[in-house]
Amino acid sequence: MEEKNNIGRRSFLKTVTLTAAGILTTSSCSETANKLSKTVESSTETATAEQPAEPLAMPVRELGKTGVKIPILGLGTSQSLDPVYDKVMHLCFKEGVTYLDTALSYGWGASHRAIANFIKQIGDRKKVWITSKSGNRTPEGLIADIDKCLAELQTDYLDLYLMHGIDDVDMLDKAFIEAGDRLRKSGKTRFFGFSCHGGDVVKLLNKAAEVGGIDAILFRYNFRQYGDRELNLAIDACSKAGIGLLAMKTMASVPGDIEKVVEFRSQNFTLGQAKLKSVWADTRIASIISEMDSVKIARENIAAAKSQKTIKAEEMHQLNRLAALTASYACNGCSHLCESAVNGKIAIADPLRYLMYYECYGKQARARELYQALPLEARNFDIEDLKKASAVCPQKIDIAARLSKARSLLAG
Ligand code: SF4
């Protein structure tokens, strides 16, 4: 099932590059810009939040060279799921969002158990694609952890098993790649890869493209990063190596009152839908994994995925402006920059991510739990030290102010 919903309209759409839309800012990135050349409508049409008038199929894309097509929208499940009957999972399934992304650490087994129950309810394991992850940092631990995943999910295989949230390129050394090979051969997972929230994502992607043995990568990718030449080249390298690319953190949210500096206006999409559309405009990305923690959000995201309308240059321009005006609140997770400026002793990217959960997603309890799980010494900081960290931050974040806010909201 290709993206047939879009094909018929393409001849009517004017093709422009994202550079022309002011998205790519690096002139030497023309090859990448061509890959990002997307159909962007130049005309104005009428509608508000996009809702398809008639049922449409969920578009699918190839996941790298796996030979498998997956829906362009997947359901992230780190939120609390209803263990008896989860309305969001059922709605998503009905609408073609058959990709479920979970992890051993999500709810410490609660996500797995709710998915196991859901599979019983739909009556056929094969109708869903299940990705799970382990945060273990040894090959043996990864091999052992898959059995826990399978036991909790009550299934005998995963579709994709990921090393969870890695930020160290050593996790792509031979021993880990061989562990992936063993797991594939054992039939416990069809495919193997990793996820990364932060650290040096470019380095991780480039190494993955080089070493082989990685089928898919789930990484942070959103409208704020389109001008990042190094990241674009690394995505290109993975794409050429046949690695399936999955995007997360696509909302790149900042607090609502800050986001309002740009009164996003569109006749087709809500701001959230436009953010998704901007990522789907990059056809190197197979799917967006979105944590849809309400029926309302799920409906909105599904409507965007199924919509035949593509994002317009003018809408991309507004996203670009939003990125520029709110940069100092949006941490990209590039902790190798700021944390190494303070000798790796202070946790910066993680507390800022938890602050985002608190301020933007209304996940106060989860944010506090995660913050308080950080070692005490990593939470301590000296304001003077943090000036060095801010000096290297590409987003120009006032790290001392934001960490102070994190501490006041999340420590107690
Ligand atoms: S604070 Fe700045 S340098 Fe540090 S991870 Fe966030 S964006 Fe990167």
**248 plus 335 within the same structural domain:** no
Pair 330, 252: CB distance under 8 Å = yes
Of 289, 327, 379, the residue nearest 79 (C-alpha): 289
Residue 221 included in any domain: yes
- Indicate if the pLDDT at residue 208 is higher than 50: yes
Residue 262's pLDDT is what? 87
Q: Is the CB of 23 under 6 A from ligand 1?
A: no
Give the model's confidence band at 310: pLDDT under 50 very low, under 70 low, under 90 confident, else very high.
very high
pLDDT average, residue stretch 385-396: 94
- 37 inside domain: no
Confidence check: pLDDT of 1 > 80: no
Handedness of CA 376, 378, 384, 387 (dihedral sign): negative
Contacts of residue 154, defined as CB under 8 A and 6 or more positions apart, other chains included, come to 116, 119, 120
**Confidence class for position 154, pLDDT limits 50, 70, 90:** very high
- Domain of 188? 54-310
Q: Are residues 296 and 400 in the same domain?
A: no
Helix axes 201-211, 229-240, angle to 10 degrees: 20
CATH code assigned at 179: 3.20.20.100
Confidence of residue 227 (pLDDT cuts 50, 70, 90): confident
d(CA 169, CA 197): 13
- CA dihedral over 140, 80, 221, 354, signed as positive or negative: negative
Of the candidates 173, 175, 177, 168, the one whose C-alpha atom is nearest the C-alpha of residue 197 is 168
The answer, yes or no, to whether residue 159 has pLDDT greater than 90, is: yes
Residue 252 has pLDDT above 80, yes or no: yes
Residue located nearest, by CA, to atom 6 of ligand 1? 331
Cα 225 to Cα 221: distance, rounded to the nearest angstrom: 7
Structural domains in the chain (count): 2
pLDDT for residue 21 is more than 60: no
Residues 251 and 362 in one domain: no
Query: Is there a domain that residue 20 lies in?
Result: no
**pLDDT score for 53:** 54
**Alpha-carbon dihedral sign for residues 259, 263, 266, 267:** positive
Q: Which of 257, 278, 310 is the last residue of a domain?
A: 310
The Å distance, Cα 36 to ligand 1 centre, comes to: 25
* SS3 state at 289: strand
pLDDT at 387: 93
- Domain assignment present for residue 274? The answer is yes
Spatial separation of the C-alpha atoms in residues 175 and 370, rounded to whole Å: 30
| 97 Cα to the center of ligand 1, angstroms | 32
In the chain, the percentage of residues whose pLDDT exceeds 90 is 77
- Write the pLDDT tens digit of every residue in 260-276: 888 999 999 999 999 99
Question: Cα separation of 386 and 174, whole Å?
Answer: 36
Give the integer Cα–Cα distance in Å for 75 and 92.
Answer: 8
pLDDT band at 49, cuts 50/70/90?
low
399 ligand 1 Cβ < 6 A: yes
Residues 196 and 301 reside in one and the same domain: yes
Q: Please give the Cα distance from 188 to 143 (Å, whole number).
A: 10
Q: Summarize the confidence of residues 208-228 as an average pLDDT.
A: 95
Please tell me whether residues 391 and 270 are part of one structural domain.
Answer: no
Q: Is the CB of 252 under 6 A from ligand 1?
A: no
Ligand 1 mean position to 10 CA, how many Å? 38
Does residue 182 sit in the same domain as residue 277? yes
pLDDT in tens, 84-116: 999 999 999 999 999 999 999 998 899 999 999
Kindly report the average pLDDT of the chain as a whole number. Answer: 88
The answer on pLDDT for 4 being more than 90 is no
pLDDT at 242: 98
Could you give phi then psi for residue 245, rounded to 5 degrees? -115, 130
25 pLDDT above the threshold of 70: no
In this predicted model, which residue has the larger pLDDT, 48 or 166? Answer: 166
Nearest CA to 260 among 249, 271, 273? Answer: 271
pTM score, whole prediction: 0.86
Computed on alpha carbons and rounded to an integer, the radius of gyration of the chain in Å comes to 21
